[in-house]
C-alpha cells in the first residue's frame, strides 16, 4: 500500500507548552519530561511563517495547557492573521468570560477534556480540586460566545462505563462533537487501567447509543484507531464503522514545545529540530517514507488484507505497550 505524501502536512499538532495547571494521572505529556527551553513567541511566529509558506492548512494548538502561556492570544492572533484553520485543545479551567471572548475571535471550536460526570471523580482523575466546576464554567463561557465545543474523554477502566452519562450530562446545542480516546499507557504501573477486549466492545456499544440518543452531537468519534484483530470477528464491522484511520507521517505531524518535530503527539521519534533546520527541510528529509509506504506497521499488518482499512492501529499506543514490555496476543503481533 502506497500513500502519496503531500508537499505539506494537512494538519499540525502544535504543542505550545508542557506546563499545566492539572496533573491528570494519564497524561502523555509527562512522558517527554518538562523543559525550561520552550519556544519563544518569536520562534513560534517564525515557525508559523514557515508552515504558512509550505502550505499547511490546519493547526491545532495543544499542550500541556496552551492557555497557561501568557502570550497565548498573541500566538493565536498571529496564526489567525496568516489564515490557518485554527483549533484548540484545552482543559477549559482557565477560560473565564474574557478568555472566551478572545478565543471566539480565532477559534470556531475548542476540544475540552472531561473524565467523569461526577465532579469529585473528575477532580480526582485530574488531580485538581474544583476542576469539574471550572471546566463546566469554561464550556458555558465558550458556548455563550458561540464557540462550538468538542468533548474528549480519555477512557480507561475507571470511567469506560460512564461514557453515556457523560454524554448525557453535557448534551446541548453547540456541543457538537463527542470523542472517546482509549487510554494510551503513559506509566507501566497503570496497565490495569488499559481497556481490554470486553471493555472496548462496551465502548463501541456506548458510542452507538450516544449517537442514537443525543442528536445535538453532530459527530460521535473514536479518534484513536483500534486494531481490527484486537476484537473477535463479529465486531470487525462495528470497528470498521468507528475507526479513524491513522494519518501519521503523511497527513499530520507534531511540533513539540521545544520545537522538535515528531510523526504524532504520541510518538517520540525525532524527525528534526526546528531550532536547527527549517520545517520544509525536515518534512522532505529521509525517514518519512516508511509512513507513505505503510511499512511502519508490523510484518503481520503488512501481509494483512485489512491493512487498507484498519491501518494497523495506533503507533503511539504500540510504542507505549512496547516500553512496558506488553505484547497483546493478537494477529498483529504474531511473527
Ligand X SMILES: C[S@@+](CC[C@H](N)C(=O)[O-])C[C@H]1O[C@@H](n2cnc3c(N)ncnc32)[C@H](O)[C@@H]1O
Residues engaged in binding ligand X (CB under 6 A): 20, 26-29, 62-63, 65, 89-91, 113, 152, 154, 181, 183-184, 186
Number of neighbouring beta carbons within 10 Å of residue 47: 20
The only residue of 13, 50, 91, 206 in contact with ligand SF4, by rule CB under 6 A? 91
Q: Contact 1/294 with Cβ under 8 angstroms?
A: yes
Query: Which of the listed partners (ligand SF4, ligand X, none) does 128 bind, with a CB threshold of 5 to 8 Å by partner kind?
Result: none
The only residue of 301, 314, 320, 321 in contact with ligand SF4, by rule CB under 6 A? 301
- DSSP structural state of residue 229: G
Q: 97-106 and 131-144 are packed helices; what angle lies between their axes, rounded to 10 degrees?
A: 50
Query: Which of the listed partners (ligand X, ligand SF4, none) does 193 bind, with a CB threshold of 5 to 8 Å by partner kind?
Result: none
List C-alpha distances in Å: 123 to 38, 100, 118, 223, 335: 28, 22, 9, 24, 43
Strand order in the sheet with 260-262: 219-221, 175-182, 148-155, 109-113, 85-90, 58-62, 11-15, 252-255, 260-262, 272-273
Query: Which of the listed partners (ligand X, ligand SF4, none) does 186 bind, with a CB threshold of 5 to 8 Å by partner kind?
Result: ligand X
Provide, rounded to whole angstroms, the least separation between the CB of residue 258 and ligand SF4: 16
d(CA 283, CA 272): 8
d(CA 331, CA 323): 20
Residue 20 contacts ligand SF4 per CB under 6 A: yes
Q: Which is nearer to ligand SF4, 29 or 262 (CB)?
A: 29
As a whole number of Å, the end-to-end CA separation of the chain is 20
Q: Contact 1/242 with Cβ under 8 angstroms?
A: no
| Residues in a beta bridge with 112 | 90, 151
Query: Which of the listed partners (ligand X, ligand SF4, none) does 181 bind, with a CB threshold of 5 to 8 Å by partner kind?
Result: ligand X
Provide, rounded to whole angstroms, the least separation between the CB of residue 334 and ligand X: 26
- List the x/- string, 217-256, binding to ligand SF4 by CB under 6 A: ----------xxx---------------------------
Residue 331 contacts ligand SF4 per CB under 6 A: yes
Provide, rounded to whole angstroms, the least separation between the CB of residue 91 and ligand X: 4
Q: Which stretch binds ligand SF4 (CB under 6 A): 21-29, 155-163, 186-194, 239-247?
A: 21-29
Provide, rounded to whole angstroms, the least separation between the CB of residue 207 and ligand X: 16
Amino acid at each position: 500500500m502506497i500513500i502519496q505524501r503531500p508537499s505539506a502536512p494537512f494538519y499540525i499538532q502544535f504543542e505550545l507548552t508542557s506546563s499545566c495547571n492539572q496533573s491528570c494521572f494519564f497524561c502523555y505529556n509527562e512522558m517527554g519530561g518538562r523543559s525550561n527551553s520552550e519556544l519563544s513567541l518569536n520562534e513560534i511566529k517564525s515557525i508559523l511563517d514557515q508552515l504558512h509558506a509550505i502550505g499547511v492548512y490546519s493547526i491545532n494548538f495543544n499542550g500541556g495547557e496552551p492557555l497557561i502561556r501568557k502570550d497565548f492570544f498573541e500566538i493565536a492572533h498571529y496564526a489567525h492573521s496568516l489564515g490557518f484553520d485554527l483549533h484548540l485543545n484545552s482543559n477549559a479551567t482557565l477560560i473565564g468570560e474574557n478568555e472566551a471572548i478572545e478565543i471566539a475571535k480565532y477559534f470556531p471550536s475548542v476540544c475540552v477534556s472531561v473524565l467523569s460526570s461526577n465532579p469529585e471523580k473528575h477532580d480526582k482523575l485530574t488531580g485538581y480540586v474544583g476542576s469539574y466546576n471550572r471546566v463546566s464554567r469554561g464550556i458555558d463561557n465558550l458556548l455563550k460566545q458561540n464557540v462550538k465545543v468538542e468533548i474528549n474523554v480519555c477512557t480507561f477502566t475507571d470511567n469506560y462505563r460512564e461514557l453515556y452519562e457523560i454524554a448525557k450530562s453535557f448534551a446541548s446545542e453547540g456541543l457538537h462533537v463527542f470523542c472517546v480516546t482509549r487510554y494510551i499507557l503513559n506509566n507501566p504501573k497503570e496497565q490495569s487501567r488499559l481497556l481490554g477486549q470486553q471493555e472496548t466492545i462496551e465502548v463501541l456499544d456506548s458510542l452507538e447509543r450516544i449517537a442514537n440518543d443525543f442528536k445535538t452531537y453532530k459527530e460521535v468519534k473514536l479518534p484513536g484507531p483500534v486494531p481490527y484483530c484486537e476484537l473477535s470477528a463479529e465486531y470487525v464491522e462495528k470497528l470498521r464503522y468507528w475507526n479513524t484511520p491513522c494519518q501519521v507521517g503523511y497527513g499530520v505531524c507534531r511540533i513539540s514545545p521545544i520545537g522538535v518535530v515528531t510523526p504524532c503527539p504520541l510518538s517520540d521519534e525525532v524527525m528534526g529540530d526546528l531550532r536547527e533546520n527549517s520545517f520544509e527541510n525536515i518534512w522532505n528529509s529521509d525517514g518519512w517514507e516508511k509512513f507513505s509506504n505503510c511499512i511502519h506497521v508490523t510484518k503481520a499488518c503488512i501481509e494483512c488484507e485489512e491493512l487498507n482499512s484498519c491501518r494497523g492501529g495506533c503507533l503511539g499506543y504500540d510504542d507505549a505497550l512496547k516500553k512496558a514490555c506488553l505484547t497483546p496476543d493478537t494477529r498483529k503481533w504474531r511473527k
